[in-house]
């Protein structure tokens, strides 16, 4: 399912127009992204938890030359599904 299909499903389920459903879907995604960006956790009961995860800096190797390179610390989004979602 892509974003357009999700918007259609939300419109059909809620009785909203596709335009309004699209705005609602966009607002939910923006709220989740904003919270994760500010390192807050977003927990949706029965669905899962979105959070920011930090990967430590490490030393890597360039596969073409074999030269060691430093890989900096990086923060990325993580999702942990709820057990109710896993059971589906």
Question: What range does the domain containing 87 cover?
Answer: 39-88
- Percent of the chain past pLDDT 90, that is, above it, reads 94
**Rounded alpha-carbon distances, angstroms, from residue 81 to 7, 33, 61:** 22, 17, 33
pLDDT at residue 88 in the model: 84
pLDDT at residue 22 in the model: 95
In this structure, are 11 and 49 located in the same domain?
no
In this structure, are 58 and 80 located in the same domain?
yes
In this structure, are 53 and 88 located in the same domain?
yes
Task: Please state the domain count of the chain.
Answer: 2
Output the domain CATH number for residue 87. Answer: 4.10.520.10
* Rounded mean pLDDT, 5-28: 95
In this structure, are 10 and 32 located in the same domain?
yes
- Specify the pTM: 0.78
Distance CA 15, CA 66 (A): 58
């Amino acid at each position: 399912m892509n974003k357009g299909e999700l918007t259609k499903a939300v419109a059909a389920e809620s009785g909203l127009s596709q335009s309004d459903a699209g705005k609602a879907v966009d607002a939910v995604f923006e709220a989740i992204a904003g919270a994760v960006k500010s390192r807050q956790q977003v927990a949706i009961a029965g669905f899962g938890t979105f959070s920011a995860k930090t990967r430590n800096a490490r030393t890597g190797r360039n596969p073409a030359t074999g030269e060691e390179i430093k890989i900096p610390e990086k923060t990325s989004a993580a999702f942990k599904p709820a057990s109710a979602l896993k059971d589906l």
